[in-house]
Amino acid sequence: MNPLGKDFNEFFINLAPNNNKEWFDEHRKEYHSVIKEPFEQFVAALIGAIQQYDPKMKVSPKVCIFRINRDIRFSKDKTPYKLNRSAAINYGGRKDFTASGLYVEVGPEHIRIYRGLFQLDKPAIEKIRNYWAKNMDAFKKAYSNKAFINSYGSIRGETNTRIDKDLKEAAEKEPLLYNKSWYFFSQLPASEVDNPKLIDLLVAHYLAGQEMCDLFIKALH
């Protein structure tokens, strides 16, 4: 059951031209009833659905959901609130950047699902590259299967221009070894926000990326 309704996106559409504390305070009760509480229920239901495939995903919505407040300290845009709600369902919640779970963002522009590896330190990048070089066929199979391509298309991420000389031969066959992050994402129309099957759709995307994420997890452990 999807607890989100059409009024979820409507709230953010109304917030966009009134993105200030005064307007938000006047509509705080609406925010709690239309956005905050339904999204917490939504994330709880999504965690429960993922637990059917990964029983170790014992995490609460509270540690997964990002704040609606924007970090405006170093931004020219001083509007205080985000125009969507998002959560990172991982073993360590929103502060966990491993490949174990997924990031979901819901708002009036789109619904996005991300998986993969972000913000890796140098030792982690080296682990991924070395494991990938030794398991080229497994990685190619993971990103070439029909479910992955239909859900995500391809792997993205920032790249380095140089790579360890020991990996150059492998990188000629597999340019993704030059990456320093490896992520993939899919986008659904914002109109799907109240689709009763939305959680099922997200879980299908989660499963489509699991073969690749399992390889990342093996590489890092």
15: containing domain: 6-220
- CA gap 182, 110 in Å, rounded: 22
Asked, for residue 114, whether it belongs to a domain, the answer is yes
CATH number, domain with residue 203: 3.30.930
Asked, for residue 18, whether it belongs to a domain, the answer is yes
Q: Identify the CA nearest to 38 among candidates 71, 6, 73.
A: 6
Cβ contacts of 211 within 8 Å, gap of 6 or more: 141, 142, 145, 148
Asked, for residue 98, whether it belongs to a domain, the answer is yes
Higher-pLDDT residue of 78 and 199 is: 199
Q: Identify the CA nearest to 99 among candidates 41, 175, 157, 150.
A: 157
Confidence of residue 96 (pLDDT cuts 50, 70, 90): confident
- CA gap 96, 118 in Å, rounded: 10
Confidence of residue 30 (pLDDT cuts 50, 70, 90): very high
From residue 13, give the alpha-carbon distance in Å to each of 6, 42, 46, 137. 11, 20, 25, 46
From residue 142, give the alpha-carbon distance in Å to each of 36, 120, 125. 36, 21, 19
Asked, for residue 36, whether it belongs to a domain, the answer is yes
3-state secondary structure of 158: coil
From residue 79, give the alpha-carbon distance in Å to each of 10, 20, 134. 18, 6, 48
Domain count of the chain? 1
Higher-pLDDT residue of 100 and 10 is: 10
Asked, for residue 189, whether it belongs to a domain, the answer is yes
pLDDT of residue 76: 84
pLDDT of residue 75: 82
Overall average pLDDT of the 115-123 stretch: 91
CA dihedral 73, 76, 82, 84 (to 10 degrees): -130
Q: What is the mean pLDDT of the chain?
A: 95
Compute CA 218 distance to the chain's CA centroid, rounded to the nearest angstrom: 20
Asked, for residue 62, whether it belongs to a domain, the answer is yes
| 37-52: pLDDT as tens digits | 999 999 999 999 999 9
What's the pTM value of the predicted model, to 2 decimals? 0.93
pLDDT of residue 100: 77
Asked, for residue 10, whether it belongs to a domain, the answer is yes
Asked, for residue 1, whether it belongs to a domain, the answer is no
Helix axes 122-134, 210-220, angle to 10 degrees: 110
